[in-house]
């Protein structure tokens, strides 16, 4: 992969940014942590901007205030899951806290991997921080509650939507606007429909033929689950296909049995998405979420769906982005009726992503880890963390003056997430998430590389998904 699409990390962040409110609480933390002096807790997470902040700022500050050392491994998405799951399955206790992405939490709960945080703090009130208040979190916390007891099983550390980013400098350029009007008969503005999006992508690909500029990003790695996720969690919902096209009651996937995975709407969605590849940079068929962010930051695409965790650095960090001050933010384009359905609470238009830290039952240092999870769950540490990682997990963070100021620089991304976040949704609550992913993704890969047509890919994917659900005992 060329250097311009390398995944962007977060540089070393000055501890001087640390909130004085957090420092004021050090006496409580020191007292509570007294029995655990010299203990080392180990955690693992995907290497994201929010995780880098934990590694570089929150972990060291926690150690400074408590004497508990934090060893934090920020690695690739693949390695994170492989290592964490193997550790929990074998009960080896290598990791004391693990990253739980929103879409995998139901599998972890079904397999009883996680410590009940609510119960643990009741049972050991001496380490229950007065500054850890679950009610301070946004409703994103609900994804990490036990559906039976309502107890908290993970402390949110990042949450963000996947918006439509576009090059504001290009869209607002009078000469380009005229060229677009002459070529299409339409005004150049962020797309609200898939037809408009495709037309814009085609125009900018032709316009940028001699400028290393293409019309759109596409998260279409032909060998990585990122492609599955972009299609089923970001593209399909904009066509009115929800929950991967699987019926949540009968667990049917095929249209013949009442599912939607190979419905006409789903096939239209996959044809649209695969069709965008002709207007996307050549790295798109090997792009995960990291490479998509890198592509947009390098100025190689006029528009794209980009995970919000990258929005702030793309729009503000000139050391990593060539499009600082040039980024617009909007809702994804949708089919007729989809936005209205989402506004009525009967659907959604894209993915609300994020994750939490949880404590495995296999952890050898549960109490020390409980202290750390409460530490990162204080309102006082949220603002600078949000500035570094475009993530917000508490409602109060939106009103912080620093966030209000940065919101202007990111063209209203935080306002969009606060006001329209309700139109997005996390992954469906499927304990069989991983198993269905494994059997369906290969057909998406084949459609990407042209081995089979999109319609055929979804017919085969739906059949395979249903067979797997029968095998797992969900579908009779």
pLDDT in tens, 91-123: 999 999 999 999 889 999 999 999 999 999 999
Strand duo 97-101 + 40-46: pairing: parallel
Residue found under tokens 């239209």: 268
Q: Is the pLDDT of residue 246 over 80?
A: yes
Q: What is the pLDDT of residues 146-181, one digit of tens each?
A: 999 999 999 999 999 999 999 999 999 999 999 999
The answer to whether 93 touches 364, Cβ cutoff 8 Å, is yes
Handedness of CA 71, 81, 144, 140 (dihedral sign): positive
When pLDDT is cut at 50, 70 and 90, the band that residue 6 belongs to is very low
For 90, residues 6+ apart whose C-beta sits below 8 A from its C-beta are 362
The arithmetic mean of pLDDT across residues 378-403, rounded, is 95
Q: Is the pLDDT of residue 352 over 80?
A: yes
Name which of 370, 372, 377 is nearest 121 in CA terms.
Answer: 370
The answer to whether 427 touches 434, Cβ cutoff 8 Å, is no
User: 160: alpha, beta or left, given left = phi > 0 and alpha = psi -120 to 50?
Assistant: beta
pLDDT at 15: 43
For 215, residues 6+ apart whose C-beta sits below 8 A from its C-beta are 200, 201, 202, 203, 204, 205, 208, 276, 279, 280, 301, 302, 303
Residue found under tokens 């550790």: 87
pLDDT at 312: 87
Q: Is the pLDDT of residue 62 over 50?
A: yes
Q: Is the pLDDT of residue 20 over 80?
A: no
pLDDT at 9: 38
The arithmetic mean of pLDDT across residues 4-22, rounded, is 41
Q: What is the pLDDT of residues 256-298, one digit of tens each?
A: 999 999 999 999 999 999 999 999 999 999 999 999 999 999 9
Q: Is the pLDDT of residue 3 over 50?
A: no
pLDDT at 476: 87
Q: What is the pLDDT of residues 321-334, one digit of tens each?
A: 999 999 999 999 99
The arithmetic mean of pLDDT across residues 432-444, rounded, is 97
């Amino acid at each position: 992969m060329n250097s311009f699409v390398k995944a962007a990390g977060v540089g070393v962040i000055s501890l001087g940014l640390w909130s004085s409110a957090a420092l004021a609480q050090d006496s409580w933390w020191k007292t509570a942590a007294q029995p655990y002096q010299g203990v080392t807790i180990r955690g693992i997470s995907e290497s994201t901007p929010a995780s880098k902040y934990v590694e570089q700022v929150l972990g060291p500050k926690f150690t400074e205030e408590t004497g508990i050392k934090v060893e934090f491994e920020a690695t690739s998405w693949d390695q994170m899951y492989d290592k964490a799951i193997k550790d929990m399955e074998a009960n080896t206790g290598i990791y004391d806290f693990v990253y739980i992405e929103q879409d995998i939490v139901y599998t972890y709960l079904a397999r009883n991997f996680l410590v009940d945080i609510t119960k643990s703090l009741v049972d050991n009130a001496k380490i229950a921080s007065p500054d850890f208040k679950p009610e301070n979190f946004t409703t994103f916390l609900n994804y990490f509650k036990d559906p039976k007891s309502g107890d908290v099983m993970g402390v949110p550390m990042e949450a963000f939507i996947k918006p439509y980013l576009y090059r504001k400098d290009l869209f607002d350029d009078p000469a380009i606007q005229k060229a677009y009007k002459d070529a299409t008969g339409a005004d150049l503005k962020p797309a609200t429909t898939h037809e408009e999006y495709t037309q814009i992508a085609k125009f900018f690909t032709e316009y940028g033929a001699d400028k290393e500029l293409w019309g759109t990003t596409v998260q279409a790695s032909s060998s990585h689950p990122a492609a599955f996720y972009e299609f089923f969690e970001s593209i399909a919902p904009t066509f009115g296909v929800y929950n991967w096209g699987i019926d949540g009651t009968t667990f049917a996937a095929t249209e013949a049995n009442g599912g939607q995975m190979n419905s006409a709407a789903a096939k239209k969605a996959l044809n649209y998405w695969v069709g965008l590849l002709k207007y996307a940079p050549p790295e798109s068929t090997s792009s995960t979420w990291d490479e998509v962010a890198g592509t947009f930051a390098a100025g190689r695409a006029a528009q794209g769906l980009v995970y919000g965790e990258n929005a702030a650095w793309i729009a503000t960090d000139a050391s990593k982005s060539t499009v600082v001050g040039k980024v617009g933010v909007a809702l994804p384009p949708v089919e007729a009726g989809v936005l209205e359905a989402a506004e009525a609470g009967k659907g959604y238009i894209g993915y609300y992503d994020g994750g939490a830290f949880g404590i495995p039952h296999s952890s050898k240092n549960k109490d020390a880890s409980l202290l750390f999870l409460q530490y990162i769950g204080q309102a006082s540490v949220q603002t600078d963390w949000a500035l570094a990682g475009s993530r917000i997990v508490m409602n109060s963070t939106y009103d912080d003056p620093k966030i209000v100021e940065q919101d202007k620089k990111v063209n209203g991304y935080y306002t969009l997430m606060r006001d329209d976040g309700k139109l997005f949704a996390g992954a469906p609550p499927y304990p069989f998430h991983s198993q269905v992913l494994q059997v369906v993704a290969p057909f998406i890969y084949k459609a990407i590389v042209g081995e089979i047509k999109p319609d055929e890919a979804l017919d085969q994917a739906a059949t395979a998904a249903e067979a797997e659900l029968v095998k797992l005992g969900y579908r009779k």
